[in-house]
A and B are shown apart, each in its own frame.
Chain A
Amino acid sequence: MLLPRSSLHISLSRLTLTDFRNYAGLRMEIGSGHVALVGPNGAGKTNLLEAVSLLVPGRGLRNAAYAEMLRDAAPGGWAVAAEVEALSGEVAIGTAWRPAPSSDGEEAGRQVHVDGIPQKSLASLGEHMRLLWLTPAMDRLFAGPPGDRRRFFDRLVAACDSSHVSHLNAYEKAMRERNLLLSEPGPDPNWLSGLEAGMAEMAAAIAAARLSALENLQANIHIGLSQSAFPWAALTLEGEVEKLLAIMSSVHAESEFRRRLCENRRLDAAAGRTLLGPHRSDLAVVFGPKGMAAAQCSTGEQKALLIGLILAQARTVAAAAGAMPMLLLDEVTAHLDSGRRRALFQTLDTLGVQAWMTGTDEGLFEGLGKAAQFFHVEAGTVSPMTRS
């Protein structure tokens, strides 16, 4: 089952910001079509995308500190509220952050409300929203450090498998405990072995979820081949446990990885970190048509490859979640020639997603379907545009 079962797609119908970045107060009413945000550099277009990206678990598309998102001189905290056509039907999602407890007893930190009901954790956002993004900061994804590619890929896995994030967190926690114990003189071997058992259990689950998401993604890349102007990518996961899973059952891979951790105690202690495991895995990307490592391709080719990958991801998430995710595409049209731009807009229409895009000039969105809505963004204000 690779294509979405229904035409359900996740979209926003209203966005309200309070003291968020350069917006003191903002209300946007949105139809179900694409959203094009047009305005000069520094107007606050990406800030809007960032606000939307806070409607899924995590710190948003800039991965910034919450305090940075607070408008200068704002007395309390920031808030992002949205009416969403979500997995669970229409819901009102609100998330807010405040640096200190408020006078009426609201706690400090990040809060999430769904339909007005306070949620225990950020993770509950994942029950309603699916969202993928592409930002200029990701242009260096293929040539950059493996951690960036791993996190990029893990976001996809998490969108398909809601337990992935908690497995990653549990693994990291046990790993930190083990690193700390190994840094002390004469660590308790029983304790270490208990932590390694937990790490191995989580590692096998993490690697299995990644491999299954990779398989689906690869299948969707091939489906998209014929109908896309974007080059296809050949993907492989390079990692200790992923490699084990290719040749043995997960139960055996788990005990083998546990054995290797035990064997590596002295090495890890000397290095001050854990040298093996799913926290070191990398996503190897090859530019399909040329059979060339993505990192060696031209800037334009890398961008096109990345867009193709995001579109395939959207199909993969749609198949897993039963609804097309929203797409946030920051400055995506800038590096594309007009042919590729049209092809992108066509693919977005075929997929039936709601894509939020930014650009400095209205002309960059020529060919975007009639249902798209244009907004002019300037200095903290957003106004609907009539299209020329």
Chain B
Amino acid sequence: MSRRTAGPEIERLIQILAKLPGLGPRSARRAVLHLIKNREKLLSPLALALAEARDKVVVCSVCGNADTVDPCSLCSDPRRDRSVICVVEDVSDLWALERAGAWSGLYHVLGGTLSAIEGVRPEDLAIASLSARAAAPEIREVVLAVNATVEGQTTAHYITDLLKPLPIKLSRLAHGVPVGGELDYLDEGTLTAAIRSRREF
């Protein structure tokens, strides 16, 4: 065990911060020191922001987005196209698409991907609620915007098979040549995917 160099309050803060993704014990310690040194400028506003987030942030009961209102501001935005749903793995993916400003329809957050080894089964993901939403008469298209990993694609195939009976268009994000990419530098898998998902001009 390492010797204790700080009071229990500080140690506890370090331990909690070290559990955050991207932070280890060492960087957590640096963050805590920085907070203590900037008590008024950072520590107090952070404590306030955390308390507020704890009290107000909810998960949208429709799409699974994180927001302070339920349904979330995206679901209740009248300017959005309510006939199309974009399915993502996580809230971070939803935010990425929003940053790009590429999508003006609705979203649906699955909350992960299928994994037999990790025991994530279809009933553990927001798949049943997606089926119900997709069956509504106003829906024309469901876009599967999952990661191009094997887990993501497995989940996409699963959902595709499930929604196939519905009279809606099912699509997925294109895989292949990146913007500004040169064919000569692509691996065989990416090139095959690009040929497979080619589209008409």
Contacts and interface: CB of A to CB of B under 8 A. Distances in A.
Contacts of A50: none
A99 interface: no
Interface stretch (B78-86, B87-95, B104-112, B115-123): B115-123
A205 B189 CA distance: 4
A180 B26 contact: no
A212 interface: yes
Interface stretch (B33-41, B62-70, B151-159): B151-159
B188 A174 contact: no
Nearest to A255: B196
Contacts of A174: 150, 154
Interface of A: prevailing SS: helix
B189 A201 contact: yes
Contacts of A170: 149-150
Contact of A191 (B29, B117, B149, B154): B154
Contacts of A197: 153-154, 157
Given A194-B114, A208-B192, A250-B188, A105 B25 contact: yes
Contact of A198 (B154, B162, B188): B154
Interface in A239-298: 250-251, 254
B150 A173 contact: yes
B157 A190 contact: yes
B174 interface: no
B122 A191 contact: yes
A320 to B, nearest CB: 12
Contacts of A180: 116-117
A181 B117 CA distance: 9
A188 B122 contact: yes
A245 to B, nearest CB: 10
B9 interface: no
Contacts of A201: 153, 189, 192-193
B22 to A, nearest CB: 11
Contacts of A188: 122, 158
B195 interface: yes
Contacts of B117: 176-177, 180
A106 B18 CA distance: 12
B157 A194 contact: yes
A167 B192 CA distance: 13
A208 B122 contact: no
A209 B26 contact: no
Contacts of B157: 190, 193-194, 197-198
Nearest to B29: A105
A163 B189 contact: yes
Nearest to B119: A180
Contacts of B153: 194, 197-198, 201
Contact of A251 (B122, B158, B187, B196): B196
A164 B196 CA distance: 20
A181 B118 CA distance: 12
Contacts of B116: 177, 180-181, 191
Contacts of B196: 251, 254
A107 interface: yes
Contact of B154 (A103, A105, A176, A195): A195
B161 interface: yes
Interface string B159-182: 001100000000000000000000
A161 B122 contact: no
A247 B37 CA distance: 69
Contacts of B162: 190
A319 interface: no
B114 A209 contact: no
A205 B175 CA distance: 14
A202 interface: yes
Contacts of A107: 24
A104 interface: yes
Contacts of A194: 114, 153-158, 161
A109 to B, nearest CB: 12
A80 interface: no
Nearest to B1: A103
A204 interface: yes
A282 B139 CA distance: 50
A180 B26 CA distance: 39
Contacts of A162: 187
Contact of B187 (A106, A195, A205): A205
A379 B196 CA distance: 59
B158 A191 contact: yes
A338 B114 CA distance: 60
22 contacts: A101-B25, A107-B24, A163-B187, A170-B149, A173-B150, A174-B154, A180-B117, A181-B116, A188-B122, A190-B157, A191-B122, A194-B114, A197-B157, A201-B153, A201-B193, A202-B150, A202-B189, A204-B192, A209-B187, A212-B188, A250-B192, A250-B195
Given A105-B26, A161-B187, A177-B115, 8 more contacts: A163-B187, A177-B154, A180-B117, A194-B155, A198-B150, A198-B157, A199-B150, A205-B188
Interface of B: 2, 24-26, 29, 114-117, 122, 149-151, 153-158, 161-162, 187-190, 192-193, 195-196
